[in-house]
Amino acid sequence: MPVATIICGSGDRNGVSRRMCAILESELSRKGFDVFFFEPAYMSIAHCMDCDGCRNGRCVISDDMDPIYDAFSESDVMVFCAPIHFSGPSSVIKTVMDRFQKCWFDRDSGHPSKFIACLCGGSPEPNFQLTEKIYKAFCITAGMEYCGALEISHTDNGVPDLEQIVRAFISDKV
Ligand SMILES: Cc1cc2nc3c(=O)[nH]c(=O)nc-3n(C[C@H](O)[C@H](O)[C@H](O)COP(=O)(O)O)c2cc1C
């Protein structure tokens, strides 16, 4: 059975990212995936301190990243669902991403082959490019293929057709 990990980069449980995660989880399950889902905003995850302790491929910090690392090593697909904050990725998702610095030293351990992003921004023209660039750098380090991003803009005006958009996007990717 294929496995997917979805990470929500927003703390707003009624927000767009959280809604996208629910739709993704439902669609991936329908397609036969086992799905891990994480909300780091409600977990205890320390910042990477660049201590170099992960030179052996294992992070020395023991916290709520542990279940995320386990899911990552078992997954075929990883999905980040996060809002744009000040033209970049939310701090919630960036904190998780930085904790994958261990992959810089160990690219061979189990990891997803595919990475997919879902991004949302409140303005009519959010800067999605910066975040995509950062995600691509993360994919190179973690040995994943960057499979593209769904970009939802103007969320301040609501997104009535979100379900249809997200289902069509993910169906095309997996
Ligand atoms: C701290 C902060 C910074 C934001 N910066 C931007 C931004 O630079 N560009 C933009 O289009 N929207 C920005 N927004 C709006 C969010 O991207 C938008 O409301 C998004 O839909 C929130 O996603 P969520 O509902 O999943 O939390 C910002 C919101 C917050 C809270």
CATH code of 124's domain? 3.40.50.360
| Burial profile 100-134: b = 16 or more Cβ within 10 angstroms, e = fewer | bbbbeeeeeeebbebbbbbbbbeeeebebeebbee
pLDDT at 31: 97
Pocket test for ligand 1, best of 18, 39, 85 (most atoms within 8 A of CB): 85
> Atom 4, ligand 1: which residue's CA is nearest?
85
CA–centroid distance, 121 to ligand 1, in Å, is 5
Range of the domain at 152: 3-173
Per the structure, the count of domains in the chain is 1
Predicted TM-score (pTM) of this structure? 0.98
Q: What integer is the mean pLDDT of 15-21?
A: 98
Residues 124-166: tens digit of each pLDDT: 999 999 999 999 999 999 999 999 999 999 999 999 999 999 9
Pocket test for ligand 1, best of 23, 39, 84 (most atoms within 8 A of CB): 84
